[in-house]
């Protein structure tokens, strides 16, 4: 049974479910209404995946500090990881696998906080299904795209008219809300405080990746490559349903990140407020 049908079955059986909502969600859904809609569907808790991104950032910074000579390529993007496995296996040792992706880190937060719940990641990415089933089968994590979530809303007749009064993430993190755009990890982790600009490369879009990997191979001064497979980052993932341009999608993310009220409502372990990150 695929993850979509499994999720529908669990909702019909009224099992306890926790949703992990990817940071790109503001491109498609309004907050806090999306939380109200997920709870109306039957999800008992909703975690903002930006909380997992904080753990990813902390792990990346620790890796760099513990290995001052080492060079790393980011690994949270399963589309890119699969490209490396297939076409650039010589680069596998550089992938920073010791840092969990935000999805995996969030799934671990869910296991800690709500151990009796089935966890469902909801995001823009098809390759996350492979990351879950092939790389982390023990986490038993279901993965839905936003496109699939829309079909679930439709099936259970949960529209935009739900009452969102009092709705809010059960676990939230404002400091990493620009994560789904290219360079999100570099900006929100504070990487630029420990590496010089010429030691960092940021790239998104599969057509742009080969040139940067070639440069990484030739130039040992490059210590860190922050890479996302989709052009512009996860805001342009294949599971997204949107007619917005890339610039309009970025604005949606910036606007949500700039909701200052949210900062008061949730913790920011990065110490990076949305204003600083913008």
Shortest CB 68 distance to ligand SF4, Å: 28
What one-character-per-residue DSSP string does 41-56 give? HTEEEEEETHHHHHHH
Binding mask 122-141 for ligand SF4 (x = CB under 6 A): --xx-xx-------------
Asked if residues 254 and 38 have their Cβ atoms less than 8 Å apart, the reply is no
Q: Is 99 left (phi over 0), alpha (psi -120 to 50) or beta?
A: beta
The residue whose two tokens read 């089933």 is 133
* Position among 234, 257, 263, 277 found at the interface with ligand SF4 (CB under 6 A): 234
**By CB under 6 A, residue 79 contacts ligand SF4:** yes
* Cα 118 from Cα 258, distance rounded (Å): 31
Asked if residues 227 and 209 have their Cβ atoms less than 8 Å apart, the reply is yes
With CB under 6 A as the contact rule, which of the stretches 119-127, 171-179, 188-196, 244-252 interacts with ligand SF4? 119-127
With CB under 6 A as the contact rule, which of the stretches 141-149, 154-162, 227-235, 255-263 interacts with ligand SF4? 227-235
Shortest CB 261 distance to ligand SF4, Å: 28
Count of positions on this chain that bind ligand SF4 (CB under 6 A): 13
* Cα 254 from Cα 231, distance rounded (Å): 17
Shortest CB 232 distance to ligand SF4, Å: 9
**By CB under 6 A, residue 237 contacts ligand SF4:** yes
The residue whose two tokens read 């092939």 is 134
Q: Which is nearer to ligand SF4, 26 or 78 (CB)?
A: 78
Collapse the DSSP code of 145 into the 3-class scheme (helix H, G, I; strand E, B; otherwise coil) and give the result: strand
Structure tokens at 277: 């990150």
Structure tokens at 237: 């993932």
Pick from 26, 50, 47: nearest CA to 255: 26
* Cα 32 from Cα 168, distance rounded (Å): 6
Shortest CB 243 distance to ligand SF4, Å: 18
Q: What is the DSSP letter of 2?
A: -
* Position among 229, 257, 270, 272 found at the interface with ligand SF4 (CB under 6 A): 229
* Position among 120, 172, 228, 253 found at the interface with ligand SF4 (CB under 6 A): 228
**By CB under 6 A, residue 96 contacts ligand SF4:** no
* Cα 144 from Cα 122, distance rounded (Å): 5
* Position among 19, 60, 64, 77 found at the interface with ligand SF4 (CB under 6 A): 77
* Position among 42, 184, 233, 274 found at the interface with ligand SF4 (CB under 6 A): 233
Binding mask 28-47 for ligand SF4 (x = CB under 6 A): --------------------
Residues in contact with ligand SF4 by CB under 6 A are 77-79, 124-125, 127-128, 228-230, 233-234, 237
């Amino acid at each position: 049974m695929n993850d979509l049908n499994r999720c529908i079955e669990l909702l019909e059986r009224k099992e306890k479910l926790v949703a992990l909502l990817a940071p790109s969600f503001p491109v498609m859904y309004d907050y806090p209404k999306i939380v109200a809609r997920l709870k109306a569907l039957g999800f008992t808790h909703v975690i903002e995946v930006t909380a997992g991104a904080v753990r990813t950032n902390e792990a990346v910074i620790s890796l760099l500090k513990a290995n001052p000579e080492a060079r790393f390529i980011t690994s949270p993007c399963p589309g890119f990881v699969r490209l490396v496995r297939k076409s650039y296996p010589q680069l596998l040792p550089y992938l920073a696998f010791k840092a969990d992706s935000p999805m995996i880190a969030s799934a671990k937060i869910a296991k800690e906080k709500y151990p009796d719940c089935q966890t469902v990641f909801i995001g823009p990415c098809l390759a996350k299904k492979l990351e879950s089933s092939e790389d982390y089968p023990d986490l038993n994590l279901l993965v839905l795209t936003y496109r699939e979530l829309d079909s679930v809303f439709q099936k259970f007749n949960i529209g935009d008219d739900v009452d969102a009064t009092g709705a809010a993430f059960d676990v939230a993190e404002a400091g990493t809300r620009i994560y789904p755009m290219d360079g999100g990890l570099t900006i929100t982790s504070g990487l630029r405080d420990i590496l010089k600009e010429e030691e960092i490369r940021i790239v998104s879009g599969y057509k742009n990746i080969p040139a940067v990997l070639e440069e990484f191979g030739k130039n040992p001064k490059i210590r860190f490559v922050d890479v996302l497979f989709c052009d512009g980052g996860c805001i342009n993932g294949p599971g997204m349903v949107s007619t917005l341009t890339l610039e309009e999608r970025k604005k949606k993310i910036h606007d949500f990140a700039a909701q200052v009220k949210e900062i008061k409502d949730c913790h920011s372990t990065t110490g990076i407020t949305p204003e600083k990150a913008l």
